[in-house]
Amino acid sequence: MTSRPLTSREAGLLACATCGLLSRPATPLKAGYCPRCGYKLSLRRHHAIQYTWALIIAAAICYIPANILPVLTRVTLVYTKGDTIIDGIVALYAEGSWHLALIVLIASIIIPMAKLIALAYLLIIVRSRSSGSNLDRTRLYRLIDFVGRWSMLDVFVVTLAVALVQIQPFVLAKPGPGVPFFAAVVVLTMLAAKTFDPRLIWDSDTEKEEPHARKS
């Protein structure tokens, strides 16, 4: 007897990723399609680890120019100056809007980096099958997925633009070359969180119990 309830995988069933219906594979070698919605069935998302790694690496590459290149270009009668995200945070703080500066710092710099590190951690854990609390890891994944919904590019860019434009009169503000990279980071991290299959976290428990079941 097992110390926990059977999973659908152990019971020989597949859950449809679209409608959630449990059904048996068409053949032992071919999963087939969901009898209710017609979606192609699979035990786990195909190449979930590889795709997630690719998205994370791409996001990490875009993260560097997103913070180095200007996200806003100010054009005045005298000069043209580009401002990075850090410049915007400093300007907000200097103007006394420390709460807005903190929001931009957390949402534009800390959260994207934290998501990349957390997703990489989950991928390493899944690959290495290391011991630990799978429930805590699942909660971490849910937190990543939830935080991703707050990665709104327009909110931070508009806040940054308003703060910088108000510093001087007769200023024309336009997006800088760093905006596409920052947008790419937001989109890529959201896609990485959706591509990752959290069921892989729990597969380690099943694989650890199978040798014990064979011995008994």
| Residues 29 and 134 grouped into a single domain | no
Q: What pLDDT digit, counting tens, does each position of 84-125 carry?
A: 888 878 887 887 878 878 877 887 888 889 999 999 999 998
The pLDDT of 7-30, averaged and rounded, is 71
| Residues 22 and 123 grouped into a single domain | no
Strand positions, DSSP E, the chain: 14-15, 22-23, 72-75, 80-83, 172-175
| Residues 65 and 31 grouped into a single domain | no
The pLDDT of 55-64, averaged and rounded, is 95
Residue 63, token pair as written in the block: 């993260």
Q: In three state form, how does the secondary structure of 18-30 look?
A: CCCCEECCCECCE
What is the phi/psi pair of residue 86, to 5°?
Answer: -65, -40
| Residues 53 and 144 grouped into a single domain | yes
| Residues 147 and 198 grouped into a single domain | yes
| Residues 130 and 207 grouped into a single domain | yes
Band (18; pLDDT cuts 50, 70, 90): confident
| Residues 7 and 81 grouped into a single domain | no
Range of lowest pLDDT (31-35, 42-46, 105-109): 42-46
Q: Taking the alpha carbons of 138, 139, 140, 142 in that order, is the dihedral positive or negative?
A: positive
CATH of the domain at 120: 1.20.140
| Residues 152 and 178 grouped into a single domain | yes
3-class DSSP state of 73: strand
| Residues 23 and 109 grouped into a single domain | no
**Cβ pair 195, 48 in contact under 8 A:** yes
Residue 198, token pair as written in the block: 């959290």
Indicate the DSSP class of residue 15.
E
Q: How many residues in total does the chain contain?
A: 216
| Residues 37 and 72 grouped into a single domain | no
**What pTM, to 2 d.p., does this model score?**
0.74
Band (214; pLDDT cuts 50, 70, 90): very low
Number of domains the chain contains: 2
Band (51; pLDDT cuts 50, 70, 90): very high
Residue 65: the pLDDT is 93
| Residues 88 and 33 grouped into a single domain | no
| Residues 148 and 70 grouped into a single domain | yes
Report the percentage of the chain scoring pLDDT > 70.
73
Domain assignment of residue 109, given as a range: 47-215
